[in-house]
Amino acid sequence: SEARKTITATLFPGDGIGPEIATSVKEVFKAADVPIEWEEHYIDTKVDPRTGSFLTWESMESVRRNGIGLKGPMTTPIGKGHKSLNLTLRKELGLYANVRPCLSIPGYRTRYDGVDLVTIRENTEGEYSGLEHQVVSGVVESLKIITRQASKRVAEYAFHYAQQHGRKRVSAIHKANIMKKTDGLFLQCCREVAELYPDIVYEEVIIDNCCMMLVKNPALFDVLVMPNLYGDIISDLCAGLIGGLGLTPSGNIGENGLALMEAVHGTAPDIAGKNMANPTALLLSSVMMLQHLGLNEPAEQIHSSILKTIAEGKWRTGDLGGTATTTEYTKALIDNL
């Protein structure tokens, strides 16, 4: 038999329920015989002077070297001047696009059936510039920065993604009727890229109207691309349509194929260590990781097992109305592989 190539991937189990749900992923990968070897990194308890955050320099280097990683939830310690760990990762690794597929889980009932859309969020600038100051007492301002370079890059990624995934429509979400210059530049970049994809329908939708249409009829949308804050808002709204962040994967994409997939839900400290957490969002993120690496067979196998296990209903975790433990659900997933 051929020697199989093993891929090394960085794993940030994170904290709170992170280690438990990461264990679930590791076990499922092992059972499915996925050719991935993990390099595990944890958050430090003190700031690493080389990164200026609780993320160690070694862990960042690991992602850069491997070009691929998976991340559980992390709590940024509260206190003066601690930069958000999530934002630090995105910024330092140049993860310019945040991709969140939002797909109904047929076995899990919400008010919406058959949701199937993808939000692609500019992940580095906009309202997240961090530039703020007090003008005079009682008057503060924040700067929203939009650049041609970052807008073009995320627009290119969105259209490329749409094409690769056989999707038909890209909607750019904006408020350019009010922020004519910033959102206007963002739209201009989207239009330029849209020209290169004549087979993909391109449209522009104002964010308030977009949110109204999403709750009325999400089937109107396919791929949505937008500046940072709108992406933050709309991706959570979309997650809500299918049941919440516990069921939604997410990926952060950088240059040269660099990708860090992550579960975007919280660390749920109240249930941490109790074998109660739902690993689905991290598992679906690991499926995205496999797809990104071109490992479509195990990706499909694991994805089907997740849908099947949730549909069967017997081994659902508490957040989905069941009573299964994390390990019971994981075992059921493995049995259904």
Of the pair 254, 298, the CB lying nearest ligand IPM is at 254
Q: Which two tokens stand for residue 151?
A: 């807008």
Interface positions with its own copies (CB under 8 A): 84, 110-112, 127-128, 132-135, 137-149, 175, 177-182, 184-185, 207-209, 211-216, 229, 232-237, 239-241, 243-245
Pairing label, strands 169-174, 132-136: unpaired
Nearer of residues 145 and 219 to ligand IPM, judged by Cβ: 145
Shortest CB 193 distance to ligand IPM, Å: 24
Instruction: Please check whether residue 124 is in contact with residue 94, taking contact to mean a CB–CB distance below 8 angstroms.
Output: yes
Q: Does 58 bind ligand IPM (CB under 6 A)?
A: no
Token output for 55 = 């993320």
Q: Could you tell me the smallest distance in angstroms from the CB atom of residue 137 to ligand IPM?
A: 28
Measured CA to CA, the distance from residue 43 to residue 30 in angstroms comes to 24
**How many beta carbons lie within 10 A of that of residue 16, not counting itself?**
22
Q: How many whole angstroms separate alpha carbon 286 and alpha carbon 333?
A: 14
| Binds ligand IPM (CB under 6 A): choice among 86, 110, 129, 163 | 86
SS3 332: helix
Residue 135 identity (one-letter amino acid) = V
The only residue of 37, 208, 270, 297 in contact with ligand IPM, by rule CB under 6 A = 208
Pick from 312, 300, 309, 301: nearest CA to 329:
309
Listed residue (259, 317, 229) closest to 20, CA to CA: 317
Q: Which is nearer to its own copies, 205 or 271 (CB)?
A: 205
Nearest distance from C-beta of residue 275 to ligand IPM, angstroms: 25
CB of 233 to ligand IPM, least distance (A): 9
C-alpha to C-alpha distance for 117 and 57, rounded to whole angstroms: 35
Give the total of residues touching ligand IPM (CB under 6 A).
Answer: 8
142 binds ligand IPM (CB under 6 A): no
241 binds, among ligand IPM, its own copies, none (CB under 5 to 8 A by kind): its own copies
Mode of pairing for the β-strands spanning 97-103 and 68-71: unpaired
**Residue number, 84 or 275, with CB nearest to ligand IPM:** 84
- Partner touching 86 among its own copies, ligand IPM, none, CB below 5 to 8 Å by kind: ligand IPM
Q: Where do contacts with ligand IPM occur on this chain (CB under 6 A)? A: 84, 86-87, 177-178, 208, 232, 264
